[in-house]
Structure 1
């Protein structure tokens, strides 16, 4: 036996990192050993996320505000992350648990690929995420809910797919666009007017920024571009070449142009 290693680390053959962690060190999981219910304290909540298909893949963007009741807890939280090289995940809900869920999901996908020698399909990734949400149901029922949005591109494909979820682990594939969080209704209303299937990257980024600005205009829990702090929404693009995050400076430039155009329209 290799010195220093528990036998479980050398004998496990499961392709699920969560199953392995539950058997060897359940305390590292955000939902604990058995999803035991805990008192729900006041914790930061994150919103709003938008995602839609583009001409070459899919885009996902999120604002940077987290709130505790009517108090702004953070101006700079990042709610959208690359899940792996071909998919992205965004979160709304209890911020601490949601960020832990993202890190655990990233590990789950990496672990599966190392064990099996091939990545999960996009639908397989969505199914794994749904099972993780079901494991968190006990905490969700106590008010510590996490709701993700997941999107990506299958290797070799030229179009994206978007999956939404509920707190029980229900999984739903969206047609063209979707949004989650407290400002989702306002963002989705903007997307209905601005989205088209042939959006290239610059046009898609502008649409995402406009949708988040509309959400921030009517939802106090959603933060728009913060020009004083130079904080812009987080925007990720996924296409056949992989996942990339749009630089903050580029997003701020587009946001500046959007605000200027709207100001001109109001003065006209």
Structure 2
């Protein structure tokens, strides 16, 4: 359990008051968990400038998100790199932020995963204090603010770029928002990709996406895009059939967040591999 998780558990489960933390919580003029940390435990936030000479951060790579008929699917490869080395083969980069929202992260892996966890706490903290969930626009804006607060670290080479996707109950559709390292955020109409292999993944998504996809079809499109990215980008990992390591695939719809099981992703991967035996470069764009 991380220090942030322990703090969150302590804050909401212990009946006895703690000087400082509880005073700050009860007197807070904001519903932001990040602002509370700034006031009570600023050392837990990765915003202070530190020297980076000689530091080679582990980096997470390619994430894709695709809108389909009833929601949105997000998928991420499992490779993390350190320079030219493979640092980890089974890292997870796609997470449920709440019951309707997904976040994927690319960049400096440690900070990226901490950002995803902190964002999940931010949404949970807001809901506990306000008694209601943020709107999708509010969620997108909160994440932009959190990225902007890490700009100092980004300028020192520790760049984190997230991808946000989720179900919007007001519009009754899946939505996808991409970000840059300064916190700028941009809504995507059909699909998005981030990370070192994003250009190759986007080329694949352009060929394969159409708005009437079913959920499993959208998941297969994401897996195809990650495979194409891994084919040309050494920092993106393809499916590892020997070790049974497959992309993390999740969806968000009116029914909530759904994580595809390893067996389900393995089945979709086998479908993709069977199709590529005759066409190594993958399927072409459907004719209109």
Q: Distance in 1 between matches of 2:43 and 2:241?
A: 41
Q: Matched residue of 1:203: which SS?
A: helix
Task: Identify the residue that residue 33 of structure 2 maps to in structure 1.
Answer: 17
Q: Matched residue of 2:251: which SS?
A: strand
Query: What pairs with 1:198-217 in structure 2 (closer than 5 Å)?
Result: 198-217=212-231
Alignment pair present for 1:72 and 2:86:
yes
Query: What pairs with 1:47-58 in structure 2 (closer than 5 Å)?
Result: 47-58=61-72
Q: Distance in 1 between matches of 2:180 and 2:209?
A: 24
Gaps of 5+ in 2: 1-15, 281-288
Q: Distance in 1 between matches of 2:95 and 2:173?
A: 19
Q: Normalising by structure 2, report the TM-score.
A: 0.88
Structure 1 residue 69: Cα displacement: 1.1
Gaps of 5+ in 1: none
Q: Matched residue of 2:182: which SS?
A: coil
Q: Do the aligned partners of 2:123 and 2:139 also contact (CA within 8 Å) in 1? A: yes
Aligned length: 262
Structure 1 residue 28: Cα displacement: 1.4
* CA root-mean-square deviation: 1.3
Among 106, 117, 128, the alignment partner of 1:114 is 128
Q: Distance in 2 between matches of 1:58 and 1:89?
A: 12
Q: Normalising by structure 1, report the TM-score.
A: 0.94
Q: Do the aligned partners of 1:149 and 1:180 also contact (CA within 8 Å) in 2? A: yes
Task: Identify the residue that residue 206 of structure 2 maps to in structure 1.
Answer: 192
Q: Do the aligned partners of 2:46 and 2:153 also contact (CA within 8 Å) in 1? A: no
Structure 1 residue 254: Cα displacement: 1.1
Query: What pairs with 1:20-99 in structure 2 (closer than 5 Å)?
Result: 20-31=36-47, 35-39=48-52, 41-99=55-113
Task: Identify the residue that residue 246 of structure 2 maps to in structure 1.
Answer: 232
Q: Do the aligned partners of 1:153 and 1:160 also contact (CA within 8 Å) in 2? A: yes
Deviations 1:123-182 (A, max 9, x none): 111100000011100000000000000011112543111111111111111111110011
Query: What pairs with 1:113-132 in structure 2 (closer than 5 Å)?
Result: 113-132=127-146
